[in-house]
Amino acid sequence: MATGKLERNGQTVLSEVDIYLSIEQSPSGTSWGGSLEIPTNQPIGPGEYDLVLSDGRKGKIKVSEAPSPSNADTVPVPFQGSGELT
């Protein structure tokens, strides 16, 4: 697990987010994705975001669907990485 923040158009959308990353390497290249644990009271919509990890790595992600309503404190939001995670 990692932590970081989510930005869009240079503005912070969510800070202090738990991030579960999955990085897969194959002969054709590296792909990555995962899920964000976001607070239920701070929902995000589908679209492209900038993911900024607390260790300094950055990458663009795509969220395909908005999270379902939940009574939990946080809700997982799957994403797919786009390009390099540097």
In this predicted structure, the answer to whether residue 20 has a pLDDT above a threshold of 90 is yes
| pLDDT score of 85 | 93
pTM (2 d.p.): 0.91
Residue-wise pLDDT for 35-73, tens only, equals 999 998 888 999 999 999 999 999 999 999 988 878 899
| pLDDT score of 44 | 92
Amino acid (one-letter) located at 43: P
In this predicted structure, the answer to whether residue 32 has a pLDDT above a threshold of 90 is yes
Written as six digits, the tokens of 28 are: 């054709």
pLDDT band per the 50, 70, 90 thresholds, residue 26:
confident
Give the CA dihedral 8, 13, 18, 24, nearest 10 degrees: -10
The torsion angles phi and psi of 25, rounded to 5 degrees, stand at -110, 135
| pLDDT score of 68 | 81
